[in-house]
Amino acid sequence: MAENIEMDNIFERKERLTEAENTLNDTVNWGGSTPADAGMEEAIAASNKPSVGQQIDSVEQAERPAGPVGLDVGTSRIVAAQNMRNHIHVTEQVNAFFTIPISKFSRRILQSNDIMFFERGDQFYIVGSSADNFANTFNTSSRRPIQGGLLSPSEKDGINVVQAVVNTLIQKPKRFGETICFGVPGEPLDGQGVGKVTYHEQVIKMFLQNMGYTPMSVNEGMATVLSELGQDDYTGLGISLGGGMCNVCLSYLSFPVITFSIQAAGDYIDTMTGQAVGEPATKIKFIKEEELDLSRDAQGMVQTALHIYYDAVIHKLLHSLQRVLAASDKLPKIAKPIPIVLSGGTAMPKGCVTKFSKVLDTMSLPIAISDVRLAAEPLHATARGALIMAMSESS
């Protein structure tokens, strides 16, 4: 409970976080994104059994960033943030894969087109953004190693795919034991993820330890707070609207007071819209990310369905928030209204914040809300917040 948090601990934690954030803010070129597959000379890991830490692509050893790392292992994307010379280096890659049968012809085509892949058994595993491109070509959907925000039990090679994607973004640390902080979801309200969050977190920790890092985790909603609410004393509601989950954290002076998640987010919107209009979810995802404008009236079947399912997710999220806050005995006594900040790819379509705010206005919450904001870099907020945490723990 917030009343029981020792003030010395609060001030010490805030001071470390603020120092870390100031370091980032003093660094130029924050937020620049580098496609992970740009400039690759080879796109293959020549192993039938990818081991933990195996690299399928790398940058030159002398060029790799050093120091703490922030990592967002998301359902749709994996994002890494770390220091590199005089700027914060952010890389991201689609967290998806597509399999095709092994053949000499296929290998030659994949290599000549700089497509990332590894081989396992009798299949080529195409990973990253190329997986979605292949899926669209064959008018089907790519496969996800993470579903509903957690490692998928139905994809037995899922962890190998996650490792392969991570290894295109970061390398082994220059200094063994360097801190890496990664985002983890809150426990789902429906109870279907009980125990699965622990498994998800520990598997990723083991993988990162084997790379030579000292891993630590941070709640995804809390990472959003750390990234965006430094000027508000890290007090407010951070909500990460991702692909598999919506993650919520109520933070008071940098301490997570309440965290939870719902397993309905971007993938749910894509899947339900696809089923409604008879199109693959991967194609709907592309339309959603490139064309959707929630501030305008829907035009056509796809746009109409996207509006309907966005409304459904926002209503479920806010009703869940209302229920959790009303039932909690941990609410801190906050003297003034607090902000809500939204992050994640699902929050990015134009008009999403306005739609969210309109539904919020119809709700009665036990805490006062000052405003609703969109993160400065919605896709990078979790990684940035994780980096701030990693830097504060390394200082």
Residues 1-30 have pLDDT tens digits of: 444 445 456 556 656 666 666 665 554 343
The total of structural domains in the chain comes to 1
- Given a contact cutoff of 8 angstroms between Cβ atoms, the answer to whether 78 and 169 are in contact is yes
Is residue 49 pLDDT above 60, yes or no?
no
Show Cβ contacts of residue 229 under 8 Å, excluding neighbours closer than 6 positions: 235, 236, 238, 251, 339, 341
- Given a contact cutoff of 8 angstroms between Cβ atoms, the answer to whether 375 and 353 are in contact is no
Per-residue pLDDT tens for 360-382?
999 999 999 999 999 999 999 99
Q: Give the domain extent around 353.
A: 2-394
Q: pTM of the entire structure?
A: 0.83
Is residue 190 pLDDT above 70, yes or no?
yes
Q: Residue 113's pLDDT band (boundaries 50, 70, 90)?
A: confident
Alpha helix (H) residue ranges in 67-195: 104-112, 129-137, 158-169
- Given a contact cutoff of 8 angstroms between Cβ atoms, the answer to whether 128 and 93 are in contact is yes
Q: Residue 134's pLDDT band (boundaries 50, 70, 90)?
A: confident
CATH number assigned to the domain comprising residue 170: 3.30.420.40
Distance CA 370, CA 365 (A): 12
Is residue 219 pLDDT above 60, yes or no?
yes
Show Cβ contacts of residue 323 under 8 Å, excluding neighbours closer than 6 positions: none
- Given a contact cutoff of 8 angstroms between Cβ atoms, the answer to whether 130 and 59 are in contact is no
Per-residue pLDDT tens for 231-254?
999 999 999 999 999 999 999 999
Average pLDDT of every residue of the chain: 85
Mean pLDDT of 340-349: 96
Separation of CA 84 from chain center: 21
Rounded percentage of the chain residues whose pLDDT exceeds 90: 65
For residue 252, the SS3 value is strand
Mean pLDDT of 33-53: 31
Q: Select from 156, 168, 158 the least CA-distant residue to 130.
A: 168
Rounded percentage of the chain residues whose pLDDT exceeds 70: 82
